[in-house]
Amino acid sequence: MDWVHCNSCFYQPGDTEKRGLYFTSCGHLYCKSCLTFDNNFSQTCSVCRKQYVVTQINSEMSEDLKENFNDPFNYLNKILKVLKFQKEHRLRFFTHNKQMNLSYQTYKEFCDKAQNEIECLKAKIQRLQEENRHLKQLYYKFHDKSIQTPLKRKSPFNFSPVSSESVYQMSSPFEINSQQFPQTPASQTIWADRITLPSQHKTN
């Protein structure tokens, strides 16, 4: 670690004289000599003039303080691995979202088309209902009119009145029969046998 040095006298741990280095809570480094001389036990940083707490730099430091002295390339490699890992998952998630968006657009177009067809069918149903209602009105109107004015039909049992004169002028049954049935020699014989006029008795 060629960059580690005392922020006051610029002492480095590789020098011949062995001095302990201390890490302040304000983020500065001091050797043991400068820490005692510069601060005069006042615990005030000579660089930033802030109050501080010191920790000696050794293997017994806490892990979060040790990280400040580790090789940054190790962190870069870890960061690159983390970036690669996150990039792969981000790309996979992006691809999934893209496919979902395409599917959404396809289903949306299908739903819009189906909705338009539904609206057209509703309008057609409404027209048919109005037409059906109009036809019913015409039917009931014609039906009521036919009931109010029934057609007159001649009954086979209706007879016109007959006057007495017409009755008197009617022919006798015998004349009707003779007119309806033509007289033949055989029929004359039959009628002569069947019809016998009552004989007239002379009064003494």
- At 44-85, the pLDDT tens digits run 888 898 888 889 998 888 888 888 888 888 889 999 999 999
65 and 6 share one domain: yes
For CA atoms 166, 171, 176, 177, the dihedral sign is positive
How many structural domains are present in the chain? 2
22 and 75 share one domain: no
- 3-state SS class at 62: coil
Q: What CA–CA distance (Å, rounded) separates 82 from 162? A: 128
The fraction of the chain above a pLDDT of 70, given in percent, is 67
The verdict on residue 63 lying in a domain is yes
Across 137-164, average pLDDT: 65
Question: Any idea which residue has 């005392």 for tokens?
Answer: 6
For residue 15, what is the domain's CATH number?
A: 3.30.40.10
126 and 114 share one domain: yes
Domain that holds residue 122: 71-146
Give 192 or 99, the one with higher predicted confidence.
99
Q: What CA–CA distance (Å, rounded) separates 151 from 148? A: 10
49 and 23 share one domain: yes
Q: For the chain, give the mean pLDDT.
A: 78
> Tokens in use for 60?
């017994």
Binning pLDDT at 50, 70 and 90, where does residue 151 land?
low
58 and 89 share one domain: no
Binning pLDDT at 50, 70 and 90, where does residue 128 land?
very high
47 and 113 share one domain: no
Last residue of a domain, one of 70, 90, 112: 70
The verdict on residue 198 lying in a domain is no
